[in-house]
Amino acid sequence: MADFSELDLTACEREPIHIPGSIQPHGILIAVDDERRVVQAAGPVEAMLGVPVEQAPGRALEELIGEAGAALVERRAAGRRGPPLFLGLVEGRGATARLELSAHCSGDLLILELEPEVDRLTDAAETLAMVRSAAARLSETADLTSLAEAAAREMRRISGFDRVMIYRFLEDESGAVIAEDKLQDLPTFLNHHYPASDIPRQARALYLRNPIRLIPDVGYLPAPLIPPVIPGNGRPLDLSDAVLRSVSPVHIQYLKNMGVAASMSVSIIVDGQLWGLIACHHETARTLSYAEREVCQHLGQMLGQRVKALVDGERHGQMLRARAAREDLVETVGRALSVERGLIEQLPQLQAMLAADGAAIVHAGTAAAIGHAPDEAQLIALADWVRATAGLEPLATDSLSELFAPAVEYRDQASGLLAVSIPGDEPITLLWFRAEQVTVVEWAGSPHKPVESVDGVGRLTPRRSFEVWKETVRGRARPWTESELDGAARASRALLDIRHQQQERRLNQQLRRTLADKEALISQKDLLMKELNHRVQNSLQLVNAMLHLQARDAGDPEVKRHFDEASRRIRAIAVVHQRLWRSDHVRSVDFRSYIEELRDGLLDTWGRGWTGLVKVHGSAVLVPTDKAVTLALVVTELLTNAVKYAYDGEPGPIDVTVKDGPKSMTVVVRDHGRGLSGEKPTSGLGSRLIRSLVGQLDGEIETRAADPGTEFSLVVPIPRLAPAAAEGGTASPVGSLAS
């Protein structure tokens, strides 16, 4: 026999069930335009309103339903949008005394539906009591199973159908009967599964849009719309919201094959999604009034709200339990030396966090596991696949072998997997496992044969047999919930934070050890430098003292003068050295302050008469140490020359001005003595020393007559010092002087 399943599924998915072009004939459908003139009509119009259906189009509405009925439409249906609204009762003109009138819009047309009055519910008080009783029973339930059972009982009590089933859609779009209330002698469909093809997607969309669907008589003959399409635009009339909309022939045959004479479906909607259906079957024809259908629809809404409350409550409880376990795990791991070490030590907590049958951690080519889990080599291979497949995102499946073929070898231990990776130089992969749950699924007929051939040549019909067809399902585990998936993701992020903190602590510890070692080395160097500086300073003082002794013992005044000049130059070097090893700045010198100290030392030699006469002006200028020493020697020579030649050794005013420029520094030494006319050798040691030192500095010196006195202007290029250089760096004062 040919396999017709693919053809049937494709045809069902394409079937335009919202525009069938006909209605169920237990009522009348009338489409009217804005002028309240009939555009289309269908059903037993003549039997109920006394006008042949072919003559209804083109008539004014009041000609069909009377002026009172037309006034009712104007009063209650003007501007109506949304689901069908009950308008009231109108008087029939045929065998039916009164008709229930409801209305809704379809495009630009107003759709009116009239059904014979059913007076089983006598008043609003009875209806309200029925609703309150049902609501009370639903609210008493504590879990989904007891809720579904209570809903089935209440719906059967309200509707009077022979069988009421609570049908839940599963993740693969198949469905299962999770509760049932029925006549005792009827066979049970409880726990039976139905393939997704039994309720095609476009049918599910209509169940979501129109929550109640009634077929009072499965054996009805469809009543076509007259005319078949809307006059003027030639389009079929959209009957998505019509109570009387004709049903797909495939579905009618399906019900007939089940032995059902009347049916009703009420949608169970949770968070805007179709969660399931309340399916009602009857062995004989049965209809419900508008009021009874409203009560049934309201029961479906209450059931959906109660399902949401229970699901949200269970999810919240799981979240709280998982959060407590996660926080305990994270806190414990946070105290460990490393995340991976802490996780290995807390594997039981890791497993319990998600109520898993097993758990494992894979890190740096090794694996540790607890409970139901693959062996180490399999864990390492699985972790490599997880990182390559999911990256940093959580991966969850209840059928691992369908995604990762090697997992078929250990599907009894790990058919369910939830995995997360914690990035790093050596990533950590956390794996939770759920063992295989071998399940025997009871299908209502073979799910692999949803259609059958009736004549062997391709004419199809829904399957006839709904006898239990058992299928053993392997390789599946209990699914992971959204809260469990969220808990694993949160744990991964928290552990990643801990890993970063631990790495930061380790780096800080290494840095502190390195700094401690460097500080110890620096302390040792400081001690050595202090000792060396002390010895250099002593040596300079010793040389200076020896020069003083030589000068004092020298009989020749010229020799004594040479010794004094040498002592003065040694003192200039000693001053900068003393300043450097007392300062934090070893690579640079504030030249203005340096000149002031140098001046004070010279004044001690020249005598108290010079106090206050040698003044230093200008701003602070940082000068590299090697240049500062050379500059100081030049300034010392210029000051000495001023004392000797401007004032003949007698006290007189001298001004030293330090000026900073963009690329150079200028030092001006000016006396107020007798000027250039005075005797001044140009070939002596001091003059040669000045020229030599200025040349070393790549500088220029200019001598100008002042009024009075003489002015020496020394311009020296000075590099701009970077902050690190200005702060001194790590150079040695001795090294600076030696350079």
248 within 8 A of 45, measured Cβ to Cβ: no
Task: Burial-class residue 553 by CB neighbours within 10 Å (0-12, 13-18, 19+).
Answer: exposed
The residue type found at 324 is A
Domains, the chain, in order of start with CATH, read 5-18+120-221+247-314 (3.30.450.40), 22-116 (3.30.450.20), 316-436+478-504 (3.30.450.270), 582-738 (3.30.565.10)
- Choose the most confident range, by mean pLDDT, from 22-31, 473-482, 503-512: 22-31
Cα gap 115→26, rounded to integer Å: 7
Asked if residue 523 has pLDDT above 80, the reply is: no
Q: Which tokens is 376 given?
A: 């180490």
- Spatial neighbors of 562 by CB under 8 A, at least 6 apart, are 685
Asked if residue 120 has pLDDT above 70, the reply is: no
Q: Which residues pair with 273 in a beta bridge?
A: 270
Q: Which tokens is 74 given?
A: 């104007």
Cα gap 450→115, rounded to integer Å: 35
Query: Averaged over 214-243, what is the pLDDT?
Result: 93
The total number of residues shown for the chain amounts to: 739
Higher pLDDT, 606 or 720: 606
What is the DSSP code string of 541-593?
A: HHHHHHHHHHHHH-SSHHHHHHHHHHHHHHHHHHHHHHHHHHSS-SSEEEHHH
Cα gap 204→267, rounded to integer Å: 9
What pLDDT is attached to residue 611?
87
pLDDT band per the 50, 70, 90 thresholds, residue 349: confident
Classify each residue of 197-222 as buried b or exposed e, where b means 16 or more C-beta atoms within 10 Å of its C-beta: bbbbebbbebbeebbbbbbbbbebeb
Query: Averaged over 398-408, what is the pLDDT?
Result: 91
Asked if residue 427 has pLDDT above 50, the reply is: yes
What pLDDT is attached to residue 182?
94
What pLDDT is attached to residue 121?
55
- Other beta carbons less than 10 A from residue 19's beta carbon: 14
What pLDDT is attached to residue 473?
59
For residue 490, the Cα-to-chain-centroid distance in whole angstroms is: 11
What pLDDT is attached to residue 18?
82
pLDDT band per the 50, 70, 90 thresholds, residue 585: low
Cα gap 658→660, rounded to integer Å: 7
216 within 8 A of 285, measured Cβ to Cβ: yes
Give the model confidence (pLDDT) of 351-400 as tens digits: 888 888 999 999 989 999 999 999 999 999 999 999 898 877 889 998 89
584 within 8 A of 727, measured Cβ to Cβ: yes
Beta strands per DSSP E along 445-581: 451-453, 460-462, 468-473
Give the model confidence (pLDDT) of 329-343 as tens digits: 777 777 777 878 888
What pLDDT is attached to residue 621?
86
Cα gap 628→633, rounded to integer Å: 9
CA-closest candidate to residue 565, choices 633, 650, 654: 633
Task: Burial-class residue 510 by CB neighbours within 10 Å (0-12, 13-18, 19+).
Answer: exposed
What pLDDT is attached to residue 94?
66
Q: How confident is the prediction for the chain on average, in pLDDT?
A: 81
Query: Averaged over 660-668, what is the pLDDT?
Result: 88
What pLDDT is attached to residue 736?
32
Q: Which tokens is 650 given?
A: 């007698």
- Spatial neighbors of 204 by CB under 8 A, at least 6 apart, are 274
Which residue is associated with the tokens 């630009």?
108
**Among 465-474, 510-519, 574-583, 708-717, where is mean pLDDT lowest?**
465-474
What pLDDT is attached to residue 731?
34
124 within 8 A of 290, measured Cβ to Cβ: no
Q: Which tokens is 68 given?
A: 């009172």
Task: Note every long-range contact of 712-716, with CB atoms under 8 Å and residues 24 or more positions apart, other chains counting.
Answer: 712/638, 712/668, 712/669, 712/670, 713/666, 713/667, 713/668, 714/631, 714/634, 714/635, 714/638, 714/666, 714/667, 714/668, 714/669, 715/664, 715/665, 715/666, 716/627, 716/631, 716/664, 716/665, 716/666, 716/667
306 within 8 A of 141, measured Cβ to Cβ: yes
What pLDDT is attached to residue 721?
59
- Spatial neighbors of 26 by CB under 8 A, at least 6 apart, are 115, 116, 216, 217, 220, 244, 287
What pLDDT is attached to residue 5?
38
Q: Which residues pair with 664 in a beta bridge?
A: 717
- Other beta carbons less than 10 A from residue 551's beta carbon: 17
**Among 271-275, 353-357, 435-439, 454-458, where is mean pLDDT lowest?**
454-458
Rg (the chain; Cα; Å): 52
- Choose the most confident range, by mean pLDDT, from 267-281, 324-338, 468-482: 267-281
Cα gap 132→147, rounded to integer Å: 16
Task: Report the DSSP pairing between strands 654-660 and 614-618.
Answer: parallel
- Spatial neighbors of 321 by CB under 8 A, at least 6 apart, are none
What pLDDT is attached to residue 622?
86
Phi/psi of residue 656, nearest 5 degrees: -115, 120
Asked if residue 267 has pLDDT above 70, the reply is: yes
What is the DSSP code string of 218-239?
A: TTPPPEE-BSSS-TTT-PPPP-
Higher pLDDT, 497 or 664: 664
Give the model confidence (pLDDT) of 531-565 as tens digits: 666 677 777 777 777 777 777 777 777 777 777 77
CA dihedral 85, 91, 92, 96 (to 10 degrees): 90
What pLDDT is attached to residue 491?
82
What pLDDT is attached to residue 586?
60
End-to-end CA distance of the chain: 105
Q: Which tokens is 453 given?
A: 């051939």
- Choose the most confident range, by mean pLDDT, from 77-81, 257-261, 275-279, 457-461: 275-279
What pLDDT is attached to residue 580?
59
| Sign, CA torsion 253/257/261/265 | negative
Cα gap 464→445, rounded to integer Å: 8
Which residue is associated with the tokens 């009827």?
186
Q: Where are the alpha helices (DSSP H) in 335-458?
A: 339-345, 347-353, 376-390, 400-403
Asked if residue 530 has pLDDT above 90, the reply is: no
Give the model confidence (pLDDT) of 714-737 as tens digits: 999 987 655 444 444 433 333 332
Give the model confidence (pLDDT) of 278-332 as tens digits: 999 999 999 998 888 989 999 999 999 999 999 888 878 777 777 777 777 777 7
